[in-house]
Structure 1
Amino acid sequence: MAQPPEPLGPDSLTWRYFGEWVAFVFTGRATLLQVMDPALGAGVAEHSAVFDEPFARLWRSLFEIFGVVYDGPDAAATAAAVRGHHTAIKGLRPDGARYHALDPATFYWAHATFVEGVRTHAETFHRRLRDDELDRLHAEGVQWWRLYGMSMRPVPADRRAFEEYFSRHCAHVLELTPAARRLVAAFADPPPPPPLRGLPAPLWRLLRLPAVRLHWLLTVGTLPPAVRATLGERWTRARAARLRLLLGALRALWRLPRGRWRYHPRATAAFRRAAGEPVVLPQPPAWSRSGAGAPGAAASRLG
């Protein structure tokens, strides 16, 4: 009998970096990389509630995505739940080709954006990873993938093969899909988050302007150049200088939190469990669990 896949643990680089709150600044980047894939983008456009309830949908999804990394003995069950949400996501792309969210190549691209995102986060807010650490991060990504019970066919053999795969996908597969266009528009005109829904619309438009501009600078500035080109974004020296200033400020702020305050609740619970403390798996707040995208409804991993 085959042994069940081994969950990631506290000695992994993925545990160290993936669940940090500061990694949330890359959420828009990962989502955009995902929906620029033609098959994944078609699934989001036809089946996801993310454009109708973006904050609730994202918050629900992240608890499960973090759970696959941090839930320890329950990680395989969390992964099975994530996979189960995708069973009914299928249809036709705008070009007439069929898609299914559980096609291994499509599902793997979504996974790859998270694995690559761990490296981007670590090297942006901590330090450049050594070659042996990059190899280790790839191996952890493969271990993470096994929890989903999916085919190993699309998984690159090693870290360098993964880097080639990721670069090739960005340069030759990703496109400005309808879902990507809609997401870019949502980045420019986001609704207020739940705590601010009572604000007058003119006040919200005024308050959101700096955040919108900084988020887009951070998203575009950390995308691979091939993806920026597909988006039609010119990367100038002035924009690069503004990005360096922004990242410098974020790094300075990120030095302030200490210990478990640095991590998402699912990651915090994992570190407590690893230390021998009894824990109950944190769940998304009630405000995020109602509506069309409630648990069990078909939706993409970030969309």
Structure 2
Amino acid sequence: MTELADAEALSGEGRADGLPLDADSLIWRWFGDNRMYLIGPRPAVLQNMLAELGQGVADHSVFFADTAARIKRSMPPIFGTVYGSEDDNAGTRVRDFHTGIKGEMPGPDGGRYHALNPETYFWAHATFVEAVLYMADTFVRRLSDAEREQIYSESKTWYRRYGVSDRILPADYAAFTAYWDHMMDTVLVPHRTAIYGVGYVTKGFPKPKAVHPLAWKIIAPLFNPVAAFLTTGGMPPRARAMLNLPWTEKQERRYQRFAALWRTPTVNRIWDRLPMSARYTPIAKRAYADAGVTP
């Protein structure tokens, strides 16, 4: 079931079980929170460890030629899906970007892939949902079971805004966790797209096209160690092992101390007193302003 018509025919199943995605939601509170930068490229790398998704990026994206450009192009519509209203969001536009992303898998087993295959499309979404859960629990505060359940229920509403099949949606947070563990343990692979995406951990980050070579020569020695620390520390241990990312017990202790510092009441109070422009991405900031809410 990879064609758009099939996806649209199934997109209305079970809508009643998703919580509202609005200014009172936890996904609004944390998906556009700039502390998401602290988890590094966790969702993007995990997405590309699904072989079909990684191959689609390799075949159809400018990811290898200009990684920053792909991120800059891809993320605003996803933010627009989250921070739009139920009747006015970018979800179907995001879906339509993917209608032509299909092709043949390499190797003797072959097979075809399509970005709108429900298993492929949902995995991409799941990595963003898990990123919200991971960031909030790691760098804001330990989440309660009720908060985890709420975030997952809100994420169902988010997913349905894309207008694709929701038949694969896990029923609740426990089912989502089981799905996540299954993907990590038995499905994901070290696809070359994912390996390329974390290559700078050992090789250094490539100079962004918009940055002058001299400026990058000054910035890189400071930027690269921080980027490597956040990237490697922010990956699940299983993915870290599959991608051969260097990480020691000492580094793990440093990462956990770093995360614990961010979770302290003092740091949270300071963060909450910063201007909205410092705390949130522009799209999230505008959405909260339109709703008349300051989180």
Provide the rounded CA distance (Å) in 1 between the counterparts of 2:223 and 2:254: 14
- Report 1:67-78 matches (<5 A): 67-73=80-86, 75-76=88-89, 78=90
- What is aligned with 2:100? 88
* 1:58 Cα deviation from its structure 2 partner: 1.0
Provide the rounded CA distance (Å) in 2 between the counterparts of 1:129 and 1:249: 16
Give the letter for the 1:274 counterpart.
A
Is 1:260 the equivalent of 2:263?
no
* CA separation of 1:83 and 1:31: change in aligned 2, threshold 3 A: same
* 1:185 Cα deviation from its structure 2 partner: 2.2
Is 1:243 the equivalent of 2:255?
yes
Is 1:99 the equivalent of 2:99?
no
Provide the rounded CA distance (Å) in 1 between the counterparts of 2:257 and 2:250: 11
**Counterpart contact for 1:135–1:159, Cα < 8 Å:** yes
- Report 1:280-295 matches (<5 A): none
* 1:124 Cα deviation from its structure 2 partner: 1.7
- What is aligned with 1:273? 290
**Counterpart contact for 1:90–1:99, Cα < 8 Å:** yes
Partner deviation per Cα, 1:210-237 (whole Å, 9 max, x = no partner):
3222222222223222212212245432
Provide the rounded CA distance (Å) in 2 between the counterparts of 1:111 and 1:133: 19
* CA separation of 1:194 and 1:233: change in aligned 2, threshold 3 A: closer
* 1:26 Cα deviation from its structure 2 partner: 2.7
- Percent of aligned pairs with the same amino acid: 38
SS of 2:213's equivalent in the other structure is: coil
Partner deviation per Cα, 1:43-102 (whole Å, 9 max, x = no partner):
0111011222222221222111111100125544x0111111101100112231211001
- What is aligned with 2:157? 143
Provide the rounded CA distance (Å) in 2 between the counterparts of 1:12 and 1:73: 13
Equivalent of 1:211 in 194, 212, 223: 223
Equivalent of 1:191 in 179, 182, 206: 206
Partner deviation per Cα, 1:235-266 (whole Å, 9 max, x = no partner):
43211123135446666877356242211111
Give the letter for the 2:157 counterpart.
Q
- Report 1:124-135 matches (<5 A): 124-135=138-149
Is 1:33 the equivalent of 2:80?
no
Which ranges of structure 2 fall in alignment gaps of 5 or more residues?
1-11
Provide the rounded CA distance (Å) in 2 between the counterparts of 1:128 and 1:30: 20
Which ranges of structure 1 fall in alignment gaps of 5 or more residues?
277-303
* 1:128 Cα deviation from its structure 2 partner: 0.8
**Counterpart contact for 1:25–1:215, Cα < 8 Å:** no
Q: Which moved more, 1:205-214 or 1:127-136?
A: 205-214
- What is aligned with 2:4? none
- What is aligned with 2:194? 180
Give the letter for the 2:72 counterpart.
W
* 1:182 Cα deviation from its structure 2 partner: 1.8
Q: CA RMSD in A?
A: 2.5
Is 1:45 the equivalent of 2:61?
no
- TM-score w.r.t. the length of structure 2 is 0.83
* CA separation of 1:227 and 1:218: change in aligned 2, threshold 3 A: same
* 1:206 Cα deviation from its structure 2 partner: 5.1
Provide the rounded CA distance (Å) in 1 between the counterparts of 2:222 and 2:122: 34
* CA separation of 1:141 and 1:122: change in aligned 2, threshold 3 A: same
* CA separation of 1:216 and 1:267: change in aligned 2, threshold 3 A: same
Aligned pairs, number: 271
Give the letter for the 2:276 counterpart.
R
Give the letter for the 2:73 counterpart.
R
